[in-house]
């Protein structure tokens, strides 16, 4: 008997045995049903057993939400009883250090206005490059100097000014300059690509013109004339004419300022556009932005600031038990504020700007809450930054011949710099905790992938959520401690009245 015939017989025997077992069970069931005692039992697994096939736990999810809601209400009542009402909307709109009498030179407003200077300077450099007034080398050097000075400007002014800035004003200024840096980087690089492509086309057409000059001068002149057209027209899905702008006709102030206001960090000569503004959709987003801002600031004033202050003494004394208790107490309001800020920024505000500007690409985030590892989370929670990093850092570095690991480290390095920039500069506390936290995402990503691979996707997702819930309040506590020590000295740590 061959091996194949033996396997066939074994398979048939197994099939017959399974069918035989089913016949026996069915016969037993029919016999039991015919009994006069009316049996109600049959072979069944418990619902929590994997073999039961049961997977509907919706009730437990609702129970969990209800329990979390009750716990949140209890903590909120405890906060009101202990601290009273601390919400003060007057503090939300001040750019000036009004507690110290304000400042007559309005530094926040001046820096916001000054941000137009590097934008216009960038456009002038690009105009010079397109007209061959500025050579490529000096032009790129001018761009680098312009971007570096733009990033350093808030650092120098906020550090030098003793008063005049509130935390909100300084944070807004730093955020504005960081976004402008990324946008202008994209603007410069895209125009550089277009310039290089135009030179390739011009060189190719020059060779064709020289080769065909003795054959048909009229055809060559016609081709040359068509190649110099500034716009290209095509029909979209609705049959409407769409005019595509070609380089260098995109180099005008209206196009640049549209890009500055658009909810994206990646520049294109022709953005996808919508046909109209949906008024109902727009009103919903305006309402969400207004209410969401109130909620975020109220949580910060009423819940987070007292918890952070109360964590100062235990954290300074390295009291692990009390510091851990304060950390876990701070984790809930901090994470709630972070979730509200995410929705306010990436859904409400960016959709609001997209609707006003007829901007059609509204993919500002993906399902980051389902991320099974840290790497997936960073690719899905902030799509504008992810696209910028992929398009202007990761892919160019790989095309230069470097490995993917090197490109990933460079991306995390730039991200870590700006995370530190947005924290240390407004606080005037130049530390490296945010920088180290972002660089620490590289080994944490490897750990989360290991957990996902060996323990399943659910545990990988738990690692992602744990890093978000615990990491952020720990960073806040560290920076607040350093801020107090830097600006008020160690003597304030001895004042137990703040506990």
Return d(Cα 282, Cα 429) in angstroms, integer.
39
- Give strand pairing partners of 235: 241
Instruction: Specify whether the CB–CB gap between 417 and 430 falls below 8 A.
Output: no
CA angle 423–171–379, rounded 5-degree value: 60
Phi, psi torsion values for 220, nearest 5 degrees = -65, -45
**Within 10 Å of residue 220's Cβ, how many Cβ atoms?**
17
Residue 392: active-site member: no
Q: Which two tokens stand for residue 377?
A: 């989370």
Return d(Cα 445, Cα 464) in angstroms, integer.
9
Q: Using the CB atoms, write b or e for 73-99: b if 16+ within 10 Å.
A: eeeeeebeeeeeeeeeeeeeeebbbee
Which residue intervals of 106-216 are DSSP H helices? 107-114, 116-130, 136-160, 167-212
Among residues 419, 454, 487, 496, which one is catalytic? 419
Is the bond preceding 149 in cis, omega lying within 30 degrees of 0? no
**Whose CA is closest to 167, among 414, 436, 487, 418?**
487
Residue 98's contacts (CB-CB under 8 Å, 6 or more residues apart) are 166
Catalytic residue numbers, as ranges: 419
């Amino acid at each position: 008997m061959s091996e194949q015939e033996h396997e066939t017989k074994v398979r048939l025997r197994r099939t017959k045995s399974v069918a035989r077992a089913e016949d026996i069970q069915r016969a037993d069931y029919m016999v039991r049903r015919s009994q006069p005692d009316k049996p109600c039992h049959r072979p069944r697994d418990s619902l929590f057993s994997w073999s039961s096939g049961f997977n509907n736990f919706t009730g437990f999810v609702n129970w969990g939400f209800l329990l979390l809601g009750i716990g949140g209400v209890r903590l909120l009542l405890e906060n009101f009883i202990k601290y009273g009402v601390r919400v003060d909307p007057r503090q939300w709109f001040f750019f000036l250090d009004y507690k110290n009498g304000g400042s007559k030179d309005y530094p926040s407003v001046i820096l916001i206005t000054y941000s137009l200077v590097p934008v216009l300077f960038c456009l002038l450099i690009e105009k010079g490059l397109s007209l061959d007034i500025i050579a490529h080398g000096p032009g790129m050097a001018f761009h680098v100097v312009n971007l570096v000075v733009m990033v350093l400007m808030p650092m120098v002014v906020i550090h030098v000014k003793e008063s005049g800035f509130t935390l909100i004003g300084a944070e807004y200024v730093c955020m504005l300059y960081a976004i402008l840096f990324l946008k202008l980087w994209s603007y410069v690089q895209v125009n550089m690509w277009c310039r290089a492509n135009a030179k390739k086309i011009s060189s190719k057409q020059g060779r064709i013109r020289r080769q065909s000059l003795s054959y048909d001068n009229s055809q060559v002149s016609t081709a040359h004339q068509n190649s110099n057209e500034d716009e290209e027209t095509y029909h979209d899905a609705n049959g409407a004419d769409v005019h595509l702008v070609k380089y260098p006709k995109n180099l005008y102030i209206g196009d640049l300022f549209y890009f500055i206001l658009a909810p994206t960090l990646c520049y294109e000569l022709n953005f996808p556009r919508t046909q109209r503004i949906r008024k109902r959709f727009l009103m919903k987003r305006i309402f969400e932005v207004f209410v969401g801002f109130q909620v975020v600031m109220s949580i910060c004033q009423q819940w987070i600031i007292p918890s952070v202050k109360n964590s100062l003494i235990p954290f300074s004394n390295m009291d692990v038990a009390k510091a851990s208790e304060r950390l876990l107490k701070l984790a809930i309001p901090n994470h709630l504020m972070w979730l509200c800020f995410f929705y306010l920024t990436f859904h409400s505000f960016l959709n609001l700007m997209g609707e006003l500007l007829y901007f059609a690409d509204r993919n500002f985030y993906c399902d980051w809450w389902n991320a099974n590892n840290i790497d997936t989370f960073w690719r899905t929670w902030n799509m504008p930054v992810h696209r910028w990093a992929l398009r202007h850092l990761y892919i160019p570095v790989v095309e230069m011949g470097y490995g993917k690991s090197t490109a990933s480290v460079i991306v995390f390095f730039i991200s870590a710099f700006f995370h530190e920039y947005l924290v240390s500069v407004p606080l005037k506390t130049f530390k490296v905790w945010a920088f180290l936290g972002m660089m620490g995402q590289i080994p944490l990503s490897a750990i989360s992938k290991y957990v996902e691979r060996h323990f399943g996707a659910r545990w990988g997702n738990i690692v992602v959520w744990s890093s978000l819930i615990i990491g952020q309040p720990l960073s806040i506590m560290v920076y607040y401690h350093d801020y107090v020590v830097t600006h008020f000295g160690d003597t304030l740590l001895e004042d137990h009245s703040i506990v």
